[in-house]
Amino acid sequence: MNGLTLQDVVLTYPDGDRRLTTLDRVSLHAAPGTLTAVVGPSGSGKSSLLAVAATLLRPDSGRVLVAGRDTAGLSPRQATELRRDRIGIVFQQPNLLASLTALEQLQAMAHLRGVSAKAGLPRAERLLASVGLTDGRQHRRPHQLSGGERQRVNIARALFAEPAVLLVDEPTSALDHDRGARIVDLLAAVTRDHDTATVMVTHDRGFAARADRTLELTDGRLS
Ligand SMILES: Nc1ncnc2c1ncn2[C@@H]1O[C@H](COP(=O)(O)OP(=O)(O)OP(=O)(O)O)[C@@H](O)[C@H]1O
């Protein structure tokens, strides 16, 4: 199955001499071209869910399939390659490099993949234009951009490798309500345009309602 699939995922953390169950038999399927919001309060396991989906954490049991590929048997190197090629990740705080312009942030992604920055330029320009970064703003460094614009660069950068799966952690936390709503709408649009299986975690129900569907995470259980 394409997209992202979690089957009966259990994740525990050590907690003194016991273990704390953070994800409790979580199953979900995110199809290509759909935006799924996972909403839940602080501590419900949202970041842990994304870390497991990103193959950054290995679950205690259950399966994680990325673009149809079972991630269980992957070596660390194969998991790194899968993340680089198939998974885009948008963190809460845009972790952009302070010294690079918006365009250069994307060109650096080309470089990471063994493509020259010059060869990556047209794609970088197209992607930035598609998230609304035009009129010279693509040549600005992060401190010369607004919080919403920085998040747009972050999203464009995550799309650079044409990922099958896009994982988004609280993309609106640094933004006021209107800018946050526009970022969620942008995520819905890029999800359709790039046919990504997008999972966005948020504690904000209003933003979650703008997604194609909303799932609730409560104490590690998804419903
Ligand atoms: N490395 C860790 N070791 C032990 N416990 C952890 C670890 N990381 C998270 N936890 C615990 O797992 C639970 C879920 O944490 P998680 O960060 O996934 O929640 P969250 O829903 O993303 O919260 P928030 O909205 O506050 O970011 C919490 O009880 C947290 O204390």
User: Is 113 a residue whose pLDDT tops 90?
Assistant: no
Ligand 1 near 40 CB (within 6 A): yes
CA of 16 to the centre of ligand 1 (A): 15
Q: What is the pLDDT of residue 174?
A: 79
Report residue 160's pLDDT band, with 50, 70 and 90 as the boundaries.
very high
Choice from 44, 168, 169 to test ligand 1 binding pocket (greatest atom count within 8 A of CB): 44
Cα separation, 203 vs 205, in Å, equals 6
Number of domains observed in the structure of the chain? 1
Ligand 1 near 48 CB (within 6 A): yes
Q: What is the pLDDT of residue 92?
A: 83
Task: Quick: pLDDT tens for 52-64.
Answer: 999 999 999 999 9
Cα separation, 28 vs 30, in Å, equals 7
Choice from 48, 58, 222 to test ligand 1 binding pocket (greatest atom count within 8 A of CB): 48
| CA-nearest residue, atom 16 of ligand 1 | 45
Instruction: Answer whether 82's CB lies under 8 Å from 4's CB.
Output: no
Q: Which domain holds residue 211?
A: 4-222
Ligand 1 near 202 CB (within 6 A): no
Q: How many CB atoms lie within 10 A of CB 15?
A: 10
Task: Quick: pLDDT tens for 56-112.
Answer: 999 999 999 999 999 999 999 999 999 999 999 998 877 899 999 999 999 999 988
CATH code where residue 70 lies: 3.40.50.300
User: What is the rounded end-to-end Cα distance, in angstroms, of the chain?
Assistant: 21
Cα separation, 22 vs 112, in Å, equals 33
Q: What is the pLDDT of residue 91?
A: 86
Instruction: Answer whether 57's CB lies under 8 Å from 51's CB.
Output: yes
In the block, tokens 């990471």 appear at: 112
Report residue 125's pLDDT band, with 50, 70 and 90 as the boundaries.
very high
In the block, tokens 């709408």 appear at: 185
Query: Can you tell me the ipTM of this complex?
Result: 0.91
Q: What is the pTM of this model?
A: 0.94
In the block, tokens 């259980």 appear at: 221
Q: What is the pLDDT of residue 132?
A: 93
